[in-house]
Amino acid sequence: TVRRSMDALEDQLKEARLMAEEADRKYDEVARKMAMVEADLERAEERAETGENKIVELEEELRVVGNNLKSLEVSEEKAQQREEAYESQIRAMTSRLKEAEARAEFA
């Protein structure tokens, strides 16, 4: 019976060692997967940060373009006003020229 008890204990010890080895193997596998996931996460965070920086750049560029567009619109409006004023002056001068030519013809 002592021999049976020793055999049973040896079997339990072998089983415990196998279970410990399996647990170590599973731990190593989980640790490897976790390291891969952490590396993926770090790369994703870097891409996200790069994307956020690009968004900030593009928003600033959009703001500058918007301001330039407003300036161009104001310049266009002023140019149109000057053009209208010049056309009015041309019409007035043309009318005065015709009047002067008519007076000269009858003089």
101, pLDDT greater than 80: yes
> Which sequence spans correspond to the domains of the chain?
1-76
Q: Please give the pLDDT value at position 107.
A: 77
Q: Tally Cβ neighbours within 10 Å of residue 89.
A: 10
Quote the tokens at residue 67. 């301001």
Q: What is the tens place of the pLDDT at every residue in 12-60? A: 999 999 999 999 999 999 999 999 999 999 999 999 999 999 999 999 9
Torsion from C-alpha of 25, 29, 34, 35, nearest 10 degrees = 100
- What is the average per-residue pLDDT within 92-106? 95
The residue to which tokens 């041309």 are assigned? 90
The Cα–Cα gap between 68 and 74 comes to: 10
